[in-house]
Amino acid sequence: DPSCKPNHRLLVKLANKDFENCKDDLTVLSIETKGYQDEKISSVFLTMKKDDYMEKFDLLIPDAAKIKLVKGSGPITLLGSHCLDFYDYRNYGGEETEEEEDA
């Protein structure tokens, strides 16, 4: 059904820094997105010291966002998963009978 559009989410679990190109003492990443009443929100979500090459965390990004390298040098690899939520997906399509629900 075309009226049932998925909601995209991004779940970031891990940040990995390239240790060969790490020249700065501190690496800082921030995220910029829209909040309540489309107000612009910017917040730091990751800081890594020179000797930290991997950081584990849970960051759920429910809407469009920009991730920026505020301080330090890259590259930085973010690992996670892309999630799709289909709200009211069960309400679309034919109605199931009791026999189909029991199976």
Name every residue whose Cβ is closer than 8 Å to that of residue 99 and which is 6 or more positions away in sequence. none
DSSP 98: H
Closest among 65, 27, 64 to 49, alpha carbons compared: 27
How does residue 3 score in pLDDT terms, banded at 50, 70 and 90?
low
Q: Which pLDDT band holds residue 45 (cuts at 50, 70, 90)?
A: very high
pLDDT digits (tens, 9 = 90+) for 52-96: 889 999 999 888 899 999 998 878 999 999 988 776 655 555 555
pTM: 0.71
Closest C-alpha among 67, 72, 89 to residue 2: 89
10, 83 contact by CB (below 8 A): yes
pLDDT value at position 28?
93
Find, among 68, 5, 9, 71, the residue nearest to 42 by Cα.
Answer: 68
More confident residue, 6 or 3: 6
Q: Is the pLDDT assigned to residue 1 strictly greater than 60?
A: no
